Structure 1
Amino acid sequence: MTELLHFSRQLTTEAQAQASGVGTWKQHYEQLSNGRFEGLSEDLHLDFVQVFHEHANQTVLQHGLGRPGALCLAVIDVTAPGSWYCGHDLDGRRLIALSPQREFELLAGAGMDLMAVCVDTEPLADLAATLFGPDFALRMPVPAPVERSGFDETAFTRLLGAALSLARDNLAQLEQPAARHMLSLSLADAVLQCMGSDAFEARLPASSAARRHIVAKAREYMQAHADEPISVPDLCAATGVSRRSLQYAFEDVLHLSPVTYLRVMRLNRVRCEMQACRDDTIGDIAARWGFWHLSRFAIDYTRLFGELPSATRARWFAKS
């Protein structure tokens, strides 16, 4: 998808609103840590390039698909322990790749900061043929961290930051076709500098891959039966593993027990539905997601999101 020029910047108070702030992406966010969510989303589209920036103060589980028909690279900075991207541990600043054909999963610890650039593959391939010759094969990466010897992540991040800063402070300058074109080329060239046959690190240790597979099967079952009284034996049957293996897999991958994750998933669904279904009572929405003890629901909701369900709804009604 090509959009000549568009820029948006928003401060977010919902994890899913943060997900929606990145145009052309299909993704879902779930808040996992307790407290009020505070996020920032900046999104710039110019010609055949997209640049965006995200920051969040809470731990968020993200999954989905990136910009269709585009090669995407991002620099993510995480300080909270336990963060990972598609099963690969993250610590400090890392360069990661995203594929338009394969879904990604990111467990981003509290305080995560991410800057990304996506370049449509057709103009990127044309540029690569011009720079490196017609035999250069543009290779689609798998969703994984990138290891590229000599690649300057600081300069790469500085370039993305400069593009967003220009859009934030003087978007009119980018209305000039020549300025917009030169910036697009600079961003595309930065992506090509990272390309190489040995750049993309995709293989996971067998034990890590097995635990991720268990959690993925359990989450798929949970989401398909979220409004039913799911038990741990149900999850063991759905995944074909023992209670202990299920517990270990969830604690290793999501740092939560299966029961705790199920509750958090349902609370995130209730929060989204309270905004979408404004004619329904909070009690009715909570009941639809299996919360039959409403005072217990209110306590769990307040602990996760830092406010009562009634305060959430009142704030949203005041905005509309």
Structure 2
Amino acid sequence: MSELVCATFDEFEAELIGFDGRYHLTGPERGGWRSRSFCVERVLVQLVSEGAPCTYEGVMLHGWATLFVPRSPPQWYRMLGRPLDERSLIHFAPGQEFLAAVSNPNQWLSLSAPAGLLTDAGNKASVARTNRCLVLDRATIAALTGMLDRLAELDAAGRFPVQPVSGILEARLLALWRFALGQGADRPANRGRPAVSREAVFRKAVSLMNKRAGREVRIDDLCRAAGVSERTLRAVFYDEVGVAPHQYLQIRRLHRIRRALIACSPGKHTVAGIGARHGYWNGSRLAHDYRALFGELPSETLGRRPGP
């Protein structure tokens, strides 16, 4: 078993297996960031603890698919523009971008495998290559999580099954995954407006936030960029990330400041200068907002030596 323990989200972000993306905290860290992983033949299993409410914007590695299973209350999670429930699993397809949001520190597990292993007579290849919300009965999900918990215990104790038993376990996990894809293949990812439309609105608004990182961005600007009313824009942001557009704008600005502080040399740069380049002209306000989100002052981030 491989185990990873990190003090902060940005350390954890760089080490998360199978995903290429970026965390944005939407609330202060209140726990640690941990991951345990082991393989059942060609299936990688991860058990993850995230230490803060957050969003994650990323992409799956090409060639690999991932099945996401929440371990905390499913209602905390928003995936593919919808809240999850007790019967929800999420299939992330290889090379596909996605956005995930969770409202509290949480735990989840995932299975990752080459996408080709998920295609059989009942599933076309295109089914496994599309992000989708899947639905299973609660008993099946409980059986899956129970089996993986037991395998994790055996792996930690150095008693993980070997062939032929490990091959049987791999086949069982893949069969369940294929079954879930078949069950959920025709289910819409969202109710109401199509998922593509909602995703397009969100991405257009975020694109403007990124382009105008150091300048003022108003809600009217985001509405024009996305081609929607303020009411629709607000509804889209709550659907996608669980916060209002102006809150998400501030969160992303603070994260850009944090990345700049980490990358800079304390002797050559100042907090005031970095803040001003990202639209924060009031040093006291920056210190207040930054500490509320990250639990430390920006000067502490700037003065900390980077890890090896």
Task: Give TM class, smaller chain.
Answer: 0.7 to 0.9
1:27 and 2:21 correspond: yes
Match of 1:170 in 2: 158
* Secondary structure at 2:101 match in 1: strand
Maintained 8 Å contact 1:94/1:145: yes
Paired with 2:152 and 2:210, the residues of 1 have a C-alpha distance of 36
Q: 1:187 to 1:112 in 2, by over 3 A?
A: same
**Per-residue displacement from partner, 1:122-181 (whole Å, max 9, x unpaired)?**
3455xx5xxxxx68645315323212358611111123223433444428x68x676765
Taking the TM superposition and a 5 Å limit, the aligned residue runs for 1:147-162 are 147-148=135-136, 152-162=140-150
Task: Pick one of 171, 177, 180 that aligns with 1:194.
Answer: 180
**Per-residue displacement from partner, 1:223-270 (whole Å, max 9, x unpaired)?**
222222222232122122333443343345433332221111111122
Q: CA deviation at 1:212?
A: 4.5
1:247 and 2:209 correspond: no
Maintained 8 Å contact 1:147/1:200: no
Match of 1:121 in 2: 115
Paired with 2:184 and 2:75, the residues of 1 have a C-alpha distance of 27
Residue 86 of structure 1 aligns to which amino acid in structure 2? L
Paired with 1:284 and 1:93, the residues of 2 have a C-alpha distance of 49
Task: Pick one of 4, 9, 14 that aligns with 1:15.
Answer: 9
Residue 192 of structure 2 aligns to which amino acid in structure 1? A
Q: Aligned pairs, how many?
A: 304
Paired with 2:38 and 2:77, the residues of 1 have a C-alpha distance of 26
Residue 283 of structure 2 aligns to which amino acid in structure 1? L
Q: 1:281 to 1:44 in 2, by over 3 A?
A: farther
Q: 1:178 to 1:203 in 2, by over 3 A?
A: closer
Residue 294 of structure 1 aligns to which amino acid in structure 2? G
**Per-residue displacement from partner, 1:178-220 (whole Å, max 9, x unpaired)?**
6765554443344234342555533422347455443332112
Paired with 1:135 and 1:24, the residues of 2 have a C-alpha distance of 26
Paired with 2:65 and 2:29, the residues of 1 have a C-alpha distance of 34
Identity of aligned residues (%): 24
Q: 1:309 to 1:44 in 2, by over 3 A?
A: farther
Q: CA deviation at 1:300?
A: 0.2
Maintained 8 Å contact 2:134/2:184: no
Maintained 8 Å contact 1:67/1:118: no
Paired with 1:216 and 1:13, the residues of 2 have a C-alpha distance of 30
Task: Pick one of 272, 296, 315 that aligns with 2:285.
Answer: 296
Q: CA deviation at 1:309?
A: 2.0
Residue 22 of structure 1 aligns to which amino acid in structure 2? L
Paired with 2:206 and 2:290, the residues of 1 have a C-alpha distance of 20
Match of 2:243 in 1: 256
Paired with 2:122 and 2:289, the residues of 1 have a C-alpha distance of 58
Paired with 1:282 and 1:169, the residues of 2 have a C-alpha distance of 48
Match of 2:224 in 1: 237
* Secondary structure at 1:196 match in 2: helix
* Secondary structure at 1:152 match in 2: helix
Q: 1:77 to 1:150 in 2, by over 3 A?
A: closer
Maintained 8 Å contact 2:128/2:181: no
Match of 1:111 in 2: 105
Paired with 2:198 and 2:174, the residues of 1 have a C-alpha distance of 36
Q: CA RMSD in A?
A: 3.2
Maintained 8 Å contact 1:142/1:202: no
After TM superposition, the score normalised by the length of structure 2 is 0.82
Residue 217 of structure 1 aligns to which amino acid in structure 2? K
After TM superposition, the score normalised by the length of structure 1 is 0.80
1:275 and 2:269 correspond: no
Match of 1:3 in 2: none
Match of 1:57 in 2: 51
Residue 132 of structure 2 aligns to which amino acid in structure 1? A
* Secondary structure at 1:40 match in 2: strand
Residue 114 of structure 1 aligns to which amino acid in structure 2? W
